Amino acid sequence: MRSFVWHPYTQMNDWEKFDVISKGKGMWLYDKQGNALMDGVASMWCNVWGHSNKELTDSIIKQTKNLQHSSLFNLTNDKAEDLAEKLVKLAPEMHRVFYSDDGSTAMEISAKMALQYWNNIGEKKTRFVSLENGYHGDTIGAMSLGYVPLFFSKFKSVLFQVLRTPTPNRYRIPKGYSFEDYQEFCLEKIEQTFSKNDDIAAFVMESGAQIAGGVVIYPKGFQKKISKMCKKHNVLLILDEIATGFGRLGSMIEYQKQESTPDIVSFGKMLSGGYLPLAATLASKKIYDSFLGEYQDMKHFFHGHTFTGNPLACATALRNISLYKKYNLISKIKKRAIQMELRIKEISSLDMVGDVRHAGMLMGIELVSDKKKKTPISPTKKLPQKIFVEAKKHGIYQRTLGPIVMLVPPLAISEKELGFLLDGTIKTIKNVSSQT
Ligand SMILES: Cc1ncc(COP(=O)(O)O)c(C=O)c1O
């Protein structure tokens, strides 16, 4: 089959062809020949209920018949209104919702909102601080905020300067530190950065865990302490819950679990159940109020997208959120998380497995070439492709993050299906280890 599609983060030379997925049902993706693959990465971490969920597709069909798109410029629509109200009720301390289409744009909006907030109140605060290896998307602003060297070094010359502080990754602590000491060190670095610079607009971090930058689950209290520090130093806290909110880490609103309070927070991915592109940036009253004034004051937010508040996506998100309650999803996730946790010992004992990091419905299995020395695997080994090919033999769609095998299934996965995913992943790692 001739293809004109250019695939993301893909060396196109390595791929003669791609499987053509033509149907999805529950946890499974089907190609044209009817071969099934379990969606082990929730179609890039966003699928909640599995594919072709009737309640979600019905709401899309119903909305499609009424209103497909209408703008939020000078107008509104009932689905965007209802969803905003629902989100503000769900997210403590949040006051208004600004819609966009994907996580990267939601983070651009977060950054612009913070910058314009300081401008609106007449303070000169223009710099950001973020955690090393944070990831906030692939647009220029989002890349600047969340610089992952492996992904973004080629664009460095055009990225804006952001101050970075270290992330407490339990598996890779610098020599001479205990994990507790290192956490303290990371927090001290933030405090020092805030103390030394009076032009910091905001601290930006993923809420609960870093995912794309290496699956680093923050130690208890880490985010809470950062939140307190931000308040103390009059620095805004921007949280990114695009990949970690809405159940992924076992909580609906992760910042609530982390006992932290953002000024601005973004959701995406699972917001629409993973069915339609939608993201939302929520702001506190303090932020929102600074944008109010006379027209000629030019305090209103200078940002907008064509599909902002798209009623189809908002209707789907509304239905998605109602299903969390109807099916008690968060407590089901907690049970599945225990099922994952019970397999950690077995996975850790595998030959190439250096570390297993897990929270809720997220597991990152870091593969290394030498377990004792924690030696990273060279990219020349083409590990991601090997894992993908091997996992397919076990009926699983896998997408690794460099040397990290990711288990990020749809949140409503059943016990049996999760067992299948765990078993297949273990077999995949064993077979790839014996070939590598
Ligand atoms: C934490 C986080 N923020 C932002 C993004 C960017 O989202 P999108 O790919 O929808 O632009 C991602 C994507 O994986 C993410 O994990």
Q: What pLDDT score was predicted for residue 378?
A: 87
Cα–Cα distances in angstroms (integers) from residue 59 to residues 276, 328, 401, in the given order: 12, 20, 34
Co-location of 232 and 126 in the same domain: yes
E-strand ranges in 264-339 read: 264-267, 279-283
Query: Of 298, 326, 354, which residue sits at a domain end?
Result: 326
Co-location of 411 and 291 in the same domain: no
φ/ψ region of 410 (left if φ > 0, alpha if ψ in -120 to 50, else beta) reads beta
Q: 240: annotated binding-site residue? A: yes
Has residue 21 been placed in a domain? no
Has residue 41 been placed in a domain? no
Has residue 404 been placed in a domain? yes
107 Cα: distance to centroid of ligand 1 (angstroms): 9
Co-location of 304 and 371 in the same domain: no
Q: What pLDDT score was predicted for residue 150?
A: 84
Query: Of 310, 326, 342, which residue sits at a domain end?
Result: 326
Give me the residue label for tokens 């905001």. 202
Give the SS3 label for residue 309: coil
Please list the pLDDT of the chain residue by residue as tens digits (436 residues): 689 999 999 999 999 899 999 999 999 999 999 999 999 999 999 999 999 999 999 999 999 999 999 999 999 999 999 999 999 999 999 999 999 999 999 999 999 999 999 999 999 999 999 999 999 999 999 999 998 888 899 999 999 999 999 999 999 999 999 999 999 999 999 999 999 999 999 999 999 999 999 999 999 999 999 999 999 999 999 999 999 999 999 999 999 999 999 999 999 999 999 999 999 999 999 999 999 999 999 999 999 999 999 999 999 999 999 999 999 999 999 999 999 999 999 999 999 999 999 999 999 999 999 999 999 998 888 899 999 999 999 999 999 999 999 999 999 999 999 999 999 999 999 999 988 7
Co-location of 306 and 157 in the same domain: yes
Co-location of 165 and 119 in the same domain: yes
Q: 147: annotated binding-site residue? A: no
Q: In which domain, by residue range, is 147 found?
A: 58-171+197-326
Has residue 16 been placed in a domain? no
Query: Of 277, 303, 326, which residue sits at a domain end?
Result: 326
Has residue 12 been placed in a domain? no
Co-location of 281 and 395 in the same domain: no
Q: What pLDDT score was predicted for residue 436?
A: 76
Give the SS3 label for residue 252: coil
Taking the C-alpha atoms of residue 223 and residue 257, their distance in angstroms, rounded to an integer, is 10
CB 324 within 8 A of CB 403: no
Has residue 25 been placed in a domain? no
Say how many residues make up the chain: 436
Q: For residue 224, give the CATH number of its domain.
A: 3.40.640.10
Q: What pLDDT score was predicted for residue 397?
A: 97
Q: 327: annotated binding-site residue? A: no
Domains contained in the chain, number: 2
Taking the C-alpha atoms of residue 137 and residue 146, their distance in angstroms, rounded to an integer, is 7
Co-location of 339 and 322 in the same domain: no
Buried b (16+ CB within 10 A) or exposed e, 68-96: eeeebeeeebebbeebbebbeebbebbeb
Q: How many angstroms from the chain centroid is the CA of residue 391?
A: 23
246 Cα: distance to centroid of ligand 1 (angstroms): 14
Strands 127-131 and 200-206, bridge-based pairing: parallel
Co-location of 294 and 411 in the same domain: no
Q: What is the number of alpha carbons within 13 Å of residue 391 lying toward its C-beta? A: 25
CB 307 within 8 A of CB 69: yes
Closest to 244 in 3D by CA, of 348, 359, 112, 399:
359
Binding pocket residue ranges, ligand 1, CB within 6 Å: 102-104, 107, 135-137, 206, 211-212, 240, 242-243, 268
Q: What pLDDT score was predicted for residue 380?
A: 82
Positive or negative: CA dihedral 172, 177, 183, 187? negative
Taking the C-alpha atoms of residue 282 and residue 288, their distance in angstroms, rounded to an integer, is 9
